[in-house]
């Protein structure tokens, strides 16, 4: 909104300024030609008793006929007086420009004002006023010659100053035009980035029309065939630490299916891979029906659970749940998201209001019998065998991830609220973050370092649930 208003105002002002300058230049040229023609002619052809009568069109023809009966010297007085008046208007116009544009030319302003005063003073001099303008008798040629000389001297000075000022104004206008153009380009770029981020988000989260209400249709299938989709007993492979375990937290049935099948398709030994899918209570039934109808190939194992099945995840233990249950904190979060969208920041979604986005901090407690687990986001498509990740020696560290430091991107400053004094004192805003789409976690090291307790400490201390303190370990 601000861009359109700013651009319209700036464009209108520049066009009016440009049109006015063309008009002034044309008027100045016509006056100059008219003055030369009068000064060079030996037979003046216009005269009138009224010095303010126009000298163009029908009036000019009328004055030409009257010139046969008029005094030639009176004509010269009229022309010189008109020339002085025109230059007063021109000088005042440039003076108005100087004030309007607020340029640093106070000295030039004084010169324009002084020139305008000098032109006015000439016409108001008693000698000229009585002899040339108010006299009904013959005009004194000596007085007229002196009057003409003074006017021409001031016209010469005015032209010199105006030419110099015109060059300065042209440069200033070009600079201002460039600044306005740069500002408009920056605004357009910010708007394009924001629209691009929104379009990317929409395209990433949209699904074909044929898949609309998929979860509801899957639940209808389960209700129609309860025996067919009866829950199975947990398999021993779900807790076997010698296998390759994956954790996927999502409420998107299609996305989870793509991740799982891409891993299995590229696995050398798919029967050694175990997938732990956790979703919310609303989608757990649909997720189970989907994988029951479309079993995984290669003998891989998959279990689907809801967040509610992990009973230790309650508001008395998990700070984020207490904050999510607080209407005030929800309002603060939504206001922050609105500010981010207005400022062109990365467009987020309300996934952060779901516990699914915070389950990664409780992996050691969710799977107490496992030593390592690979966390995959639901927007990942695997293109090669991942078993090599379990062979990486993490050297006692908790997290194996891809570092994503490119300039100022993905630094702590983008994830933590450094306006909070404790955050500012404890962390470096320039430290590198890491990609969280695929992470191999050493759960034994996690338990040893008590990373979840550390995470709780900062959550309770800061009490700001949209701070992603996922780099503390």
Residue 411 lies in a domain: no
Residue 323 CB neighbours (<10 A) = 20
The mean of the pLDDT values for the chain is 76
Residue length of the chain: 473
Q: Are residues 324 and 178 in the same domain?
A: no
Mean pLDDT over residues 437-455, rounded?
A: 93
Residues 392 and 454 both lie in one domain: yes
pLDDT of residue 209: 74
Same domain, 187 and 267: no
> 458, 200, 463: which is closest to 348 by C-alpha?
200
116 vs 227, residue with greater confidence: 227
Is the confidence at residue 113, as pLDDT, over 90?
no
Task: Between 140 and 347, name the one with better pLDDT.
Answer: 140
Report the alpha-carbon distance of residue 97 to residue 166 in Å, rounded: 10
CA nearest to 378, candidates 256, 280, 257, 262: 256
What DSSP letter does each residue of 147-205 carry, written as one string? Answer: HHHHHHHHHHHHHHHHHHHHHHHHHHHHHHHHHHHHHHHHHHHHHHHHHHHHHHHHHHH
Residues 311 and 453 occupy one common structural domain: yes
185 and 278 together in one domain: no
pLDDT at 53 over 60: no
Which of 113-122, 191-200, 382-391 is modeled with the greatest confidence? 382-391
Average pLDDT value for residue range 43-69: 44
State residue 27's pLDDT score. Answer: 65
Q: Is residue 424 part of a domain?
A: no
Residue 56's pLDDT is what? 45
* Mean pLDDT calculated for residue range 382-398: 92
- Let me know if residue 184 belongs to a domain: yes
Whether residue 282 contacts residue 253, with contact meaning beta carbons closer than 8 Å, is answered with: no
* CATH code, 395: 3.90.550
Q: What is the pLDDT of residue 452?
A: 93
396 with 260, same domain: the answer is yes
Lowest-confidence region among 105-114, 260-269, 271-280, 371-380: 105-114
Q: Is residue 232 part of a domain?
A: no
Based on the domain organization, do 18 and 108 belong to the same domain? yes
Residue 308 — pLDDT band, cuts 50, 70, 90? very high
Count: domains in the chain: 2
275 three-class SS? strand
The lowest-confidence range among 34-43, 250-259, 336-345, 440-449 is 336-345
Among 131, 159, 192, which residue terminates a domain? 192
| Pair 188, 242 in one domain | no
pLDDT interval class at 105 (50, 70, 90): low
Q: Residue 340: inside a domain, yes or no? A: yes
- Work out the pLDDT band at 98, boundaries 50, 70, 90: low
Kindly report which listed range (11-25, 120-134, 196-210, 365-379) carries the lowest average pLDDT score. Answer: 11-25
Q: Are 459 and 319 in contact (CB under 8 A)?
A: yes
Residues 171 and 248 in one domain: no
CA distance 264 to 274: 10
> pLDDT digits over 63-82, tens only?
444 444 556 677 777 778 77
Pair (128, 272) in one structural domain = no
Question: Is 214 contained in some domain?
Answer: no
- Which of 20-24, 146-150, 198-202 comes out lowest in average pLDDT? 20-24
- The β-bridge relationship of strands 438-442 and 399-400 is antiparallel
Point out the domain boundary residue: 192, 216, 247.
192
- On whether both 174 and 284 belong to a single domain, the answer is no
User: What confidence score (pLDDT) does residue 244 get?
Assistant: 97
Q: Is residue 469 part of a domain?
A: no
Q: Could you tell me if residue 423 is inside a domain?
A: no
pLDDT, mean of residues 319-344: 61
pLDDT of residue 235: 92
CA-to-CA distance for 260 and 440, rounded, in angstroms?
A: 16
Alpha-helix runs per DSSP H in 225-300: 253-266, 284-293
Domain boundary among 157, 172, 192: 192
Region 38-46: mean pLDDT is: 47
Q: For the stretch 334-361, what's the b/e string if a residue is b when 16 or more beta carbons lie within 10 angstroms of its beta carbon?
A: eeebeeeeeeeeebeeeebbbbbbbbbb
Q: Which domain, by its residues, includes 319? A: 238-401+436-462
């Amino acid at each position: 909104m601000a861009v359109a208003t700013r651009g319209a105002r700036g464009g209108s002002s520049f066009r009016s300024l440009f049109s006015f300058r063309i008009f002034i230049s044309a008027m100045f040229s016509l006056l100059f030609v008219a003055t030369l023609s009068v000064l060079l002619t030996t037979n003046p052809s216009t005269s009138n008793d009224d010095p303010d009568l126009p000298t163009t069109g029908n009036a000019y023809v009328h004055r030409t006929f009257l010139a046969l009966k008029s005094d030639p010297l009176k004509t010269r007085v009229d022309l010189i007086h008109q020339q002085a008046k025109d230059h007063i208007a021109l000088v005042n116009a440039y003076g108005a420009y100087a004030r309007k544009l607020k340029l640093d030319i106070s000295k030039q302003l004084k010169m324009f004002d002084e020139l305008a005063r000098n032109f006015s003073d000439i016409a108001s001099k008693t000698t000229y006023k009585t002899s040339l303008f108010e006299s009904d008798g013959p005009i004194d040629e000596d007085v007229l010659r002196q009057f003409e000389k003074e006017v021409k001297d001031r016209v010469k000075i005015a032209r010199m100053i105006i030419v110099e000022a015109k060059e300065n104004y042209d440069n200033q206008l070009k600079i201002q035009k460039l600044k306005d153009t740069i500002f408009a380009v920056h605004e357009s770029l910010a708007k394009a980035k924001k629209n691009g981020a929104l379009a990317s988000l929409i395209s990433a989260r949209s699904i074909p029309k044929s898949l609309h209400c998929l979860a509801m249709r899957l639940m209808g299938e389960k209700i129609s065939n309860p025996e067919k989709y009866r829950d199975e007993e947990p398999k021993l492979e779900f807790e076997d630490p010698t296998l390759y375990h994956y954790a996927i937290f999502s409420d998107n049935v299609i996305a989870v299916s793509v991740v799982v099948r891409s891993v299995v398709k590229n696995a050398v030994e798919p029967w050694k891979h175990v997938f732990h899918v956790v979703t919310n209570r609303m989608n757990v039934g649909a997720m189970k029906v989907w994988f029951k109808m479309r079993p995984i190939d290669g003998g891989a194992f998959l279990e689907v659970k809801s967040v509610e099945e992990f009973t230790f995840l309650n508001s008395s233990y998990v700070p984020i749940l207490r904050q999510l249950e607080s209407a005030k904190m929800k309002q603060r979060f939504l206001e922050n998201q609105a500010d981010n969208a207005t400022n062109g920041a990365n467009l987020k979604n309300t996934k952060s209001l779901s516990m699914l986005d915070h389950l990664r901090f409780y992996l050691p407690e969710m799977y107490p019998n496992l030593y390592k687990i690979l966390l995959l986001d639901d927007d990942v498509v695997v293109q090669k065998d991942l078993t090599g990740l379990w062979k990486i020696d993490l050297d006692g560290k908790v997290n194996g991830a891809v570092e994503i430091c490119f300039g100022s991107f993905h630094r702590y400053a983008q994830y933590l609220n450094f306006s909070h004094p404790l955050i500012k004192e404890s962390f470096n805003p320039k430290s590198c973050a890491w990609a969280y789409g695929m992470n191999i976690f050493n759960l034994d090291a996690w338990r040893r370092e008590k990373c979840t307790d550390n995470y709780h400490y900062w959550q309770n201390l800061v009490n700001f649930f949209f701070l992603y303190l996922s780099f503390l370990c």
